[in-house]
Amino acid sequence: MLPWSAWLERSATHSPHSQLHRLRRLGATEEWLLWREAAAAACTDFGLLAPEGLADALRRSVSRMRDWDLSWPGTPTPESAVLQLAARHFSDSCARLGAYSVADWPQVLQGSEAESRPLLFAGFDELGPRLRARLEQLNARFAPAKDIDPEPVRFQVQSAADPADELQSAARWCREQLERNPAARLLVVDTRLRLRRAQAVQAFEHVLHGGALLDRVSEALFAIEGGQPFVDFEIVRAAIAVLKLCGRGLDFPELSSLLRSPYIGCGTLEQRALLELELRERNVAHADFARLCELARQGPSGSLGPLADVLGQLAPALSGISKNLDHAAGWAREFASRLEATGWPGDGALGSDEQQQCERFRDLLGEMSTLGATGKRWSYTQALELLRAMAARIAFEAATPDVPVTLTESLDDPLVTYDGIWVAGLSADQWPAPARADPFIPIVAQREAGLPGASAEAQLQRARHALTAWQRCATQLVLSWPEGEGDVSLQPSPLLAVPARAHRASEIRRSTDPLLLALQRSAVREPRAPDRALPWTATQRLAGGIRALQLQVLCPFKAVAEHRLRATALSEPSPGLDRRERGSVLHRALELVYRQLKDSQGLTQRAADGQLEQLAAEAGAQAMQELLARRAERLPAALASNESARLARLVGTLLRQELERAAAGEFAFVQIEESQEREIAGLPLRIRMDRLDRLADGRVVVIDYKSGRTETFRPLDERPRQVQLLAYAMLAAGEVAGVAAVHLGSGEVAWRGAAAEPGLLPKLPKRTMPTAPWPELMGRWRQVVETLVRDFAAGVSTVDPLPGACRVCQLPAFCRVTPGRLDLGDPDAEEGDEESEAVHGR
């Protein structure tokens, strides 16, 4: 028993045609490479970005034309012209190399005579007429023979709520069959298995192995036929990422994945995780190996020093890629050497699947080393892209023992008999499949020849043939379809003959995941109130300072999660400046400006001299220069210039607004960016006010800068969004006359806050709601802040988000907020007439 390709290779070996023996047989990878070159050459005039990706499609089209003896006498279409050029280029390449393709069956079978014993071809239902005629000349027969087909079985139709529920139902059916007959052999066909592979693995793992996962390791009960792209396996991705790191480098997502991979041996996993955190904190969006070594040396010596030493030892072997061109064989050796230097595939013991993946990747390097016969020379980057493309086109599945359940996407004749077959995904839009004509062969020629897939009629015929084959090969057959997918309602395939009715997915009871049930039954719950954490130690400084109060306002659970459980979001590097850097450079520019001005008189004098714009520009430039000096990555000059100009514009706008305050009364900047130790409700904390202004009468005004969009401020709310203003009013040294948050966004400078009398902060919006007198308001603010502090100290962790808080929260899966509480509104949106932005005494 041989597959088609192996039979052709054997026929080529025993071919009586003398000319064939003078030629060299192309290897599979070498043939694919020649088709890539042919595709690139044929698409020269079309300006395609990646014409090499058409190689497999062009090869299939040539094969169809050969099998079906297709020709097109009319004017070539652009697609058919590309096909002709590619076929001619491939043929010329074979002649130049003195080689032939084993897939070229007319050449391979030339001169072959009929076999003495009949050849049985099974599963070849869509052979082209030219190929079938040639095989019949060789005494070929085709199975199954129509006259010996058994009586087809009746099938059962079943619907499911959605694709995930359909897979769960199929898995439960398989479990029931195996419980009744452990020796049963079952086939599950899913028309969209490639897209739902992860869902299928989860469903069948949980249903067939779920109970055993809690007690012992069980043997595999299912396997997926056909495999998945080899490049998708983690061990392969790690190898290619290592090689990219040694060349042009990696963007942060790939670099982060590589540092956390167990398949490299540079330092420990903990050391590499610390290096990843360093890259996140320093906004490193791209790095090569040399840059990674430098960043490790610059990091904290106590934690990253050992890793920096390891990387430094590897630097001579991994840096300095030669810019010379080399044959594929030379680069294959270079790649193997660099992978060995980095300790790929890691120091840990590999499982059976991982060992097979590792060996297959080494075989891939071996296949690459045989490509030198083409004579082409590559750069490092080109050779690495070739290796990645080779890994992407291979479908790999680790060898497994014989299993009772097989999952497949193939709709071809199963040939052998199964105890049961379940076919999923048979909605009207999937089965019969839509017409899928060959893109390079004129559609008229395809339909005249009856090429499969070229018309809706041909697809209908294929679907009916598949149904007949399933009925013939199963003692029990179940056909299923999902009634919905996402927000889309689906209808059953007309071939299922389902009675017309109103289908609603909500009416179908979903299958229960047995693994989740087992976990719930075995769970040991700790007797503790669900909305309480452990009390905070009274003498311990309040974690996070004012930010803890801000989070307590947004959602008490979020405050506990971030400041008790350390469930914080990791920084995500991005090109250019990130939010933290923009906020930092803005605060620094404002600090430089106000330290020079000192008071409102200095501001007025600079304005009279026409120096405000110059002052803003100089402060922005200096702040940017300081930021760039400590950045891990160089910022392009254009971006740095744009950011400096943005800073100057924002600071200049704010200074012009400050002139209105100066006209109403004098003030001095007495505290600028100073850290202080304070106490609220008996708990110590450290605060850092952006600015404190002292008025001529001795009272003070608290100013807080915010970068980004404007936030609301309602001074009478029990949970005010800008609670830091309330806390600063309590903690400021002196009698407070007003508080304000100055929002410096991309297009405006907006003030939000409250003042004791009109005109004190002219840029505050007009009052739109009744409010309390200023002394009462200050007392109310004290009560609100002290209540928040006491709740945080007591461990109150109720899941109670403000509207819009969940939109920017990274913890919805952690807190398990109910859909009824999940408000995805914009927390930064202004609320119009309901807003009270200024408070005045009476």
Alpha carbon 701 to chain centroid distance? 47
Q: Which helix (H) or strand (E) holds 383?
A: helix 380-393
Structure tokens at 336: 């193997």
Helix/strand/coil for 702:
strand
Is the predicted pLDDT of residue 598 greater than 90, yes or no? yes
Distance (Å, whole) CA 589 – CA 653: 13
List % helix, strand, coil for the chain (3-state, nearest 5): 50, 15, 40
Is the predicted pLDDT of residue 217 greater than 70, yes or no? no
Beta-carbon contacts of residue 272 (< 8 Å; ≥ 6 apart) = 259, 260, 266, 307
Distance (Å, whole) CA 567 – CA 558: 9
pLDDT at site 418: 94
Is the predicted pLDDT of residue 413 greater than 80, yes or no? yes
pLDDT at site 207: 86
Q: Using an 8 Å Cβ cutoff, are 727 and 680 in contact?
A: yes
Q: Using an 8 Å Cβ cutoff, are 61 and 82 in contact?
A: no
Letter string b/e over residues 91-112, b meaning 16 or more CB atoms within 10 A of that residue's CB: eebbeebebbbbbbbebbbeeb
pLDDT at site 328: 87
Beta-carbon contacts of residue 698 (< 8 Å; ≥ 6 apart) = 734, 735
Q: Are strands 477-482 and 155-160 parallel, antiparallel or unpaired?
A: parallel
Beta-carbon contacts of residue 799 (< 8 Å; ≥ 6 apart) = 531, 555, 556, 557, 815, 816, 817, 818, 821
This model's pTM is above 0.75: yes
Letter string b/e over residues 481-515, b meaning 16 or more CB atoms within 10 A of that residue's CB: bbbbbeeeebebbebbebeeeebebeebeebebbb
Helix/strand/coil for 808:
helix
Mean pLDDT of 51-62: 92
The phi, psi pair for 360, rounded to 5°, reads -65, -35
Beta-carbon contacts of residue 554 (< 8 Å; ≥ 6 apart) = 721, 801, 802, 805, 809, 827
> Mind listing the pLDDT tens digit for each residue in 557-573?
999 888 888 888 888 88
Distance (Å, whole) CA 136 – CA 121: 10
pLDDT at site 829: 47
Domain 155-227+401-499 has CATH 3.40.50.300: yes
Distance (Å, whole) CA 768 – CA 755: 14
Distance (Å, whole) CA 192 – CA 294: 47
> Mind listing the pLDDT tens digit for each residue in 650-704?
999 999 999 988 988 899 999 999 888 888 888 888 888 999 999 999 999 999 9
Residue 13, number of CB atoms within 10 A of its CB = 12
Structure tokens at 701: 């005004």
pLDDT at site 841: 34
Residues above pLDDT 70, as percent of the chain: 91
Cis peptide before 801 (omega within 30 of 0): no
Q: Using an 8 Å Cβ cutoff, are 256 and 263 in contact?
A: no
pLDDT at site 511: 62
Structure tokens at 204: 């069948």
pLDDT at site 374: 64
Question: Per-domain residue ranges for the chain?
Answer: 4-143, 155-227+401-499, 229-396, 579-834
Among residues 515, 531, 513, which one has the least CA distance to residue 523?
515
Distance (Å, whole) CA 662 – CA 600: 6
pLDDT at site 740: 93
Is the predicted pLDDT of residue 372 greater than 80, yes or no? no
Q: Which helix (H) or strand (E) holds 56?
A: helix 55-68
Question: 28-42 vs 78-97: helix axis angle to the nearest 10?
Answer: 130
Domain 579-834 has CATH 3.90.105: no
Distance (Å, whole) CA 459 – CA 434: 7
Mean pLDDT of 240-260: 93
Q: Which of 203-207, 316-320, 423-427 has the lowest mean pLDDT?
A: 316-320
**Mean pLDDT of all residues belonging to the chain:** 85
> Mind listing the pLDDT tens digit for each residue in 152-204?
778 899 999 899 999 999 999 999 999 899 999 999 999 999 889 999 998 99
Question: Which amino acid, 278?
Answer: E
Q: Using an 8 Å Cβ cutoff, are 519 and 213 in contact?
A: no
Model confidence band, residue 710 (pLDDT cutoffs 50, 70, 90): confident
Mean pLDDT of 693-722: 90
Helices (H), 286-350: 289-298, 301-318, 328-341
Structure tokens at 145: 């023979």
The phi, psi pair for 160, rounded to 5°, reads -135, 160
pLDDT at site 503: 42
Model confidence band, residue 824 (pLDDT cutoffs 50, 70, 90): low
Question: Which amino acid, 146?
Answer: K
